[in-house]
Structure 1
Amino acid sequence: MGEEQKPINSCNCTSSSTTTTTAEEDDLHRQIIDEIESLCTLSHSIRVFSVKWQVIRKKLEELSSMLVAAETRRPNHHRRPLDDVIVTIFNTIKECRNLASSCINVSYSGKLLMQSDLDKVISKLDSALKNVSAIFSSSGVVTGDLALVVLKPSIGSSREDMRFYVKDLLTRVKIGDTQMKIQALISLNEVIFEDEKYVKIVVEIGDFVILLSNCLDSVECRIQEEASVAIAMISGFESYKGVLLVSGVIGPLIRVVENGSLKAKKFAITSLEKLTENGDNAWALSAHGGVTALLNLCSKDEIDAELIGSCCWVLRNLVGVEEIKRFMIEENAISTCIKLIKGRDEVAQIGAAEFLQSMVSGDETVRQLVVKEGGARALVRIIDPKSNFSFKSRETALRVIENLCFSSVDHVNLLINYGFMDNLLYFLRKGDASIQELAFKSAFRLCGTSEDARKSMGDGGFMVEFVKFLEAKSYEIREMAAEALSIMVLVHKNRKKFASDEHNIGLILQLLDPKQGNSGNFKFLLSILLSISSCNHARRKIANSGYVKNIENLANSGVSDAKKIVRKLSTNRFKSMLNGIWHS
């Protein structure tokens, strides 16, 4: 059964000539607004003719918003015409209520007849909307003098009060003059930033999202800006992104990127970044010319660096679609990024580097293009100690260099020619703790790229620095240093250089003592000793070390590499020496 019909005080609406007091007219006005709200709620439970009822509900909501705006403080010369219209509205609402009851109870005589009746009601609602709009605004808009001032609900107010306030703002944006629209949008942004419950209410009132989308195309700069702010806020909620897309927001956002004010552009790009985070909406943005618009913005010298950085992050979200990535490359995205990386603006530089990294990831062809166009050289320049770039820029540059070049021997050789190893070595020796650790980790990965790289690193003095990190506070760093050295000494020249320093051998033997807390590093430390023990002078130094007992203890514990080292030390040449050491 449907909701019981609420009676409306029809005695006050029988004719336009009925004499009523102002208070009675206002009570009736409020009563009809409440009835429309009730009918909108009831319409959600109707399961037949759902499309037509959706249309009816939207028109009822719009009519309610207009009546709310005109509820009080309307000029006296507008009271009688508006009251005359309310009589017609009352009859239409009553007819809607009866049709709703028939649809809920499925008590209508025929589908065709019901469809016809619903169409007639829709037509009457259209007429009512036009009449109300015409009466309380001779110019077609509501001005500040005519508007009802609805106070913002206090913290903890009911959802009904919050919804009432949002619907009032909707009306002001929809039919207000320019200043009223601006103020309503400002008020909207205030509440949605204060309490996300308002965001949900805005989204539930579907017309509001569509209206905000339309405001993005406004010729009034402030309206466009405030609408951009609101949409950026809504786009931050994963569950509401679909509503924005269905409301057609992508096209207007891109037009703002192309022609909007700086503030509007910033918030429009923020919205696009959030809407493309999962990549599912990449095609929607591309179809509206978004890729070209963003790349064009990145190529303009006078544009704000923060804006360019945000553009790069949106573009980065799109590269997962192969066709779009190829289009970006055709549109000179690589050269645009390299130009930004060569610039001095940190935000733009970092955004471009990260965008470039996304393009080269897993794509050898693109890697070749980037290196060919000077991308590697531009990135190496950022980590030049003589330059004045920030830690964040250098951190990003190192990460992109590794992704771009470390998988190719030829590219690693180019890095060496560009002075990359000299830059790393400088920061290993003289950098502060944060940049030193970055340089160390990059050097660790570099030594695993090729034998040529290991030879160059050995000649450059990297092994001395790796030895220092064997005693770092961080277990992770100590283990990485041991592993790096175990890789470096695989090169004969490096092995001889390492073994020539008694301090190196003594330190490693000392660290093999479990009391040193390096048990996790034993594998790599023993690997180092096993490699250098192929040299006679290294075996002699190991045997003469005061810590050689540590190897024997590990061998007795069944550690394979320790046993191998002991066997190498136990040749006839060293046997008597070891016996003297171990049995003294």
Structure 2
Amino acid sequence: MGDEVFVGEYKMAGVPTGASRLRRAVELIFSLLTLSLSIRVFAGKWQLIRNKLEELHSGLIAAENSDSGENPSLSRLVTSIVVTVKECHDLGQRCVDVSYSGKLLMQSDLDVAFAKLDGLAKKLSEIYKTGVLTNGSALVVSKPSLGASKEDMRFYVRDLLTRMKIGDLGMKKQALRNLLEVVVEDEKYVKVIVVDVSDVVHAVVGFLGCAEVEIQEESTKVVSVVAGFDSYKGVLISAGVIAPLIRVLDCGSEFGKVASARCLMKLTENSDNAWAVSAHGGVTALLNICGNGNCNGDLVGPACGVLRNLVGVDEVKRFMVEEGAVSTFISLVKSKEEAIQVNSIGFIQSIAFGDELIRQMVIKEGGIRALLRVLDPKWSYSSKTKEIAIRAIESLCFTSSSSVSILMNYGFVDQLLYYVRNGDVSIQELALKVAFKLCGTSEEAKKAMGDSGFMAEFVKFLNAKSFEVREMAAEALSGMVMVPRNRKRFVQDDHNIALLLQLLDPEEGNSGNKKFLISILMSLTSCNSARKKIVSSGYAKNIDKLAEAEVSSDAKKLVKKLSTNRFRNMLNGIWHS
């Protein structure tokens, strides 16, 4: 029985109690840990020994602060620990003094010492599993101050690991809370738990399957923090984190599901992990979440984010489609929560990108109608949601003339015109860019836009401060006036031709794109009334100036066209008066 001597039912006076033996063991281990930091030889072996010493130290402190009582098994083990630590202390001192007889012999002695400590640590863990630590209020080692040494940080983390492994439910919760606190406050702790005390990762991943809600939630938060570091994601994957995270998605608490989805979103940024998520049923679990009418935006957002990360794998994308992903997310576009709307629109755009079959499916199942509903001015959706809807429509419909026709039949041109006229700055500029692209999709689009009144809006933007906006407006107009009925409509407003000619002034270096302005005028010369208005305008000399300065060959062509036959005399009279 080691140091214990019994006489009947009484202990002999002066013989150490269990508590004092524990304290003696803790002090000896701390002394050896301190000594080991000054050892400069056999660094690798001493690092292994130090890891085991820290594990034992944390375990004994945990026992010291709990109601472990005079547990016979623990008492015998503490005696063995004291003996072994004293032997290690002797080895440590000889390494510090470099007073050993030979390197090979010392290496062998250190290997034996490590094996003994490893065995003692395993026995201590087995004892704890029997329920020695029953006091959930057992004290935890004080958290190191900011800027503490790596050794102090490691010691603290090992203490938390011990409590996570062997403590009762209350102690496990407290250890997880403390661990989460330090990894959030200081990313150096993340490296400590991944590189220096790697057992922590396995322990936390193991807690993901815990039936106790709070432990599951806290462990999910810790894993999510670690997943935020690209260089450590592989460690989580190796620890088998995917499967338990998906189980949390299936049957965890609401908060646990949110944290799990966020973690999976970070992990699946690397497409190599997509297969693991799919193989463990993650796609189905995520689609079930998104298809649940009662789910909230905090959960759908990251769940949708995971699915968007997975669509890059063609086989996984096909499975999503077979499972009804398209119809699920089209329904979500109608949600009243902005987060759900934004994420569902983004998902539809991602899954249909570069895939004609899925794009047609989105259109067929009402995806365009759902997006246009977001743009309907009578609905008070946010500008952010409307912007995303416009971008999605452009992505889905502008790739084929048939899709453009469907879009226009649904009234998109009028909605787009509304935002060009009435949108705030960001959405107005986006609407203008989309209108410019729509104008270039088909003859049918040019006609519809001309009928709706787009030309008058493009004319207004010819004087915009932004060169990009001026250029887009000029290019769009040059395309639209190629359509006869648009040309006729444009000429009816005398102000339009006068403005074009005015903007051609060579001295106006910051005007709209002259190439497109001249192109517009070239198209207009096919109309007699337009030719008359051009040559009779007070700004007609600007064309001549450009031609004479040889700034533009297009200007010379325009002069030549305007100077033929019946207009030659008129031009000579105006330009050379």
Q: CA deviation at 1:521?
A: 1.0
CA RMSD of superposed structures (Å):
3.3
Match of 1:50 in 2: none
Match of 1:470 in 2: 462
Aligned counterpart for 1:158 among listed residues 149, 158, 170: 149
In structure 2, distance between residues paired with 1:34 and 1:241: 36
2:184 is the alignment partner of 1:187: no
In structure 1, distance between residues paired with 2:69 and 2:305: 56
**Kept in 2: contact 1:228–1:264 (CA 8 A):** yes
In structure 2, distance between residues paired with 1:182 and 1:388: 45
* Compared CA separation, residues 79 and 411, structure 1 to 2 (3 A): same
* Compared CA separation, residues 240 and 82, structure 1 to 2 (3 A): same
Match of 1:310 in 2: 302
Match of 2:574 in 1: 581
* Compared CA separation, residues 315 and 137, structure 1 to 2 (3 A): closer
SS across alignment from 2:44:
coil
**Kept in 1: contact 2:164–2:171 (CA 8 A):** yes
Match of 1:198 in 2: 189
2:272 is the alignment partner of 1:275: no
Q: Deviations over 1:279-326 (max 9, x none)?
A: 221111111111110001100111112211221111000111000000
SS across alignment from 1:281:
helix
Q: CA deviation at 1:239?
A: 1.3
* Compared CA separation, residues 572 and 363, structure 1 to 2 (3 A): same
Q: CA deviation at 1:133?
A: 5.5
Alignment of 1:248-267 (within 5 A): 248-267=240-259
Alignment of 1:83-482 (within 5 A): 84-92=76-84, 105=103, 122=115, 125-126=118-119, 128-131=121-124, 134=127, 139-145=131-137, 147-204=138-195, 205-482=197-474
Alignment of 1:517-556 (within 5 A): 517-519=509-511, 521-556=513-548
Q: CA deviation at 1:560?
A: 1.2
SS across alignment from 2:441:
coil
In structure 1, distance between residues paired with 2:232 and 2:215: 22
Matched to 1:227, the amino acid is: S
Q: Deviations over 1:192-250 (max 9, x none)?
A: 22221222222221111111111111111111111111111111111111111111111
Q: CA deviation at 1:462?
A: 0.8
SS across alignment from 2:240:
coil
Q: Deviations over 1:45-67 (max 9, x none)?
A: 369xxxxx98x887665434313
Matched to 1:66, the amino acid is: G
In structure 2, distance between residues paired with 1:76 and 1:528: 92
Aligned counterpart for 1:31 among listed residues 20, 28, 37: 28
Matched to 2:140, the amino acid is: V
Matched to 1:373, the amino acid is: E
SS across alignment from 1:217:
coil
Q: CA deviation at 1:164?
A: 2.1
* Compared CA separation, residues 349 and 221, structure 1 to 2 (3 A): same
Matched to 2:431, the amino acid is: A
**Kept in 2: contact 1:483–1:524 (CA 8 A):** yes
Q: CA deviation at 1:39?
A: 7.4
Match of 2:8 in 1: none
**Kept in 1: contact 2:160–2:175 (CA 8 A):** yes
Q: CA deviation at 1:512?
A: 1.5
Return 26-35 or 221-230, whichever deviates more: 26-35
Q: CA deviation at 1:27?
A: 5.0
* Compared CA separation, residues 495 and 105, structure 1 to 2 (3 A): farther
Q: What runs of 5+ residues in structure 2 fail to find an aligned partner?
A: 6-13
* Compared CA separation, residues 247 and 453, structure 1 to 2 (3 A): same
Q: What runs of 5+ residues in structure 1 fail to find an aligned partner?
A: 1-12, 48-52
Matched to 1:221, the amino acid is: V
In structure 1, distance between residues paired with 2:161 and 2:31: 17
In structure 1, distance between residues paired with 2:75 and 2:22: 7
Return 179-188 or 398-407, whichever deviates more: 179-188
In structure 2, distance between residues paired with 1:498 and 1:255: 64
Matched to 1:228, the amino acid is: T
**Kept in 1: contact 2:398–2:441 (CA 8 A):** yes
* Compared CA separation, residues 351 and 232, structure 1 to 2 (3 A): same
Q: CA deviation at 1:449?
A: 0.8
**Kept in 2: contact 1:354–1:400 (CA 8 A):** yes
In structure 2, distance between residues paired with 1:305 and 1:465: 38
Aligned counterpart for 2:564 among listed residues 546, 568, 571: 571
Matched to 2:161, the amino acid is: L
Q: CA deviation at 1:161?
A: 2.3
* Compared CA separation, residues 76 and 179, structure 1 to 2 (3 A): closer
Matched to 2:26, the amino acid is: H
Q: CA deviation at 1:409?
A: 0.9
Matched to 2:60, the amino acid is: L
**Kept in 2: contact 1:16–1:87 (CA 8 A):** no
**Kept in 2: contact 1:85–1:128 (CA 8 A):** no
**Kept in 2: contact 1:133–1:140 (CA 8 A):** no
Q: CA deviation at 1:189?
A: 1.8
2:68 is the alignment partner of 1:69: no
Alignment of 1:30-69 (within 5 A): 30-33=27-30, 35=32, 45=44, 62-69=55-62
Q: CA deviation at 1:69?
A: 2.4
In structure 2, distance between residues paired with 1:154 and 1:127: 31
Question: What is the TM-score of this pair, normalised by structure 2?
Answer: 0.88
**Kept in 2: contact 1:66–1:133 (CA 8 A):** no
Q: Percent identity?
A: 52
Count residues with an aligned counterpart. 557
Return 72-81 or 412-421, whichever deviates more: 72-81
**Kept in 1: contact 2:308–2:350 (CA 8 A):** yes
In structure 2, distance between residues paired with 1:170 and 1:395: 48
* Compared CA separation, residues 123 and 105, structure 1 to 2 (3 A): closer
Matched to 1:45, the amino acid is: G
Q: Deviations over 1:388-446 (max 9, x none)?
A: 21111111111111111111111111111111111111222233333322221211111
**Kept in 2: contact 1:309–1:348 (CA 8 A):** yes
Q: CA deviation at 1:561?
A: 0.8
**Kept in 1: contact 2:53–2:117 (CA 8 A):** no
In structure 1, distance between residues paired with 2:132 and 2:280: 33
Matched to 1:198, the amino acid is: Y
Q: CA deviation at 1:466?
A: 0.9
SS across alignment from 2:554:
helix
**Kept in 2: contact 1:14–1:87 (CA 8 A):** yes
Q: CA deviation at 1:271?
A: 0.4
**Kept in 2: contact 1:360–1:404 (CA 8 A):** yes
**Kept in 2: contact 1:213–1:248 (CA 8 A):** yes
Q: Deviations over 1:505-559 (max 9, x none)?
A: 1111111124444356112111111221222221211111111122112112321
In structure 1, distance between residues paired with 2:476 and 2:563: 28
* Compared CA separation, residues 195 and 483, structure 1 to 2 (3 A): same
SS across alignment from 2:139:
coil
In structure 2, distance between residues paired with 1:477 and 1:286: 45
Matched to 1:176, the amino acid is: G
Matched to 2:572, the amino acid is: N
